[in-house]
Amino acid sequence: MIENKKSNSDGSPRVSFEFFPPNSEKMDQTLWESIKRLAVLTPDFVSVTYGADGSTRERTHQAVARILSDTELTAAPHLTCIGASRDEIDAIAREYWDMGVRHLVALRGDPPKDVTDYQPRSDGYAYASDLVAGLKRVADFDVSVAAYPEVHPEAPNAEFDLDNLKRKLDAGANRAITQFFFDVDR
């Protein structure tokens, strides 16, 4: 079922917050102070990013585990197609399910900085739509995917981008999320 509510039953806007996994003690403190301050806004969920090429995998996992144990918030870790095989991603998803995670953010992901052309792994999920379908086979996750009101920078045009979003939704995504800030003059 696709979620299409723009606001909560009381009319307040639906929001989520995205956090980066901390890479130092100071950043860890900042993260938990931020989570504490933002929790009072009762976000639908809080997502935790997954660095390029899976570079923050362990830190993402640790942050999600702590959100689950120390808060009432719904944690939604990011999973990407980059840097891991289908089997590795499926194993990570099963581990999240076993931890109590029920919401994931499925993204193709950004290739490493030194790579200019995206080339999917032959043993991996090629695109976010493939990842969504795979995650739904692992468990009945609530899956969010990315939408681009101003068109993804790699999309040749808006129609192509919209077709790509439809593929993700057809694969089983429950909602599409966007970044809060974008050019309002477009």
Which residues have a catalytic role annotated? 18
> What is the C-alpha to C-alpha distance for residues 41 and 66, in angstroms, rounded to an integer?
19
Four-CA torsion 159, 173, 104, 96, nearest 10 degrees: -140
138: which 2 tokens?
């692992």
Contact between residue 107 and residue 79 where contact means Cβ atoms under 8 Å apart: yes
Alpha helices in the chain (DSSP H): 25-39, 57-70, 86-99, 128-138, 158-170
Residues 32-70: b if buried by 16+ CB within 10 A, e if exposed: beebeeeeeeebbbbbbbbbbbbebbebbbebbbbbbee
Query: Residue 76: exposed, middle, or buried by beta-carbon count in 10 A (0-12, 13-18, 19+)?
Result: buried
Listed in sequence order, the residues at least 6 apart from 178 whose beta carbon sits closer than 8 Å to its beta carbon are 146, 147, 148, 149
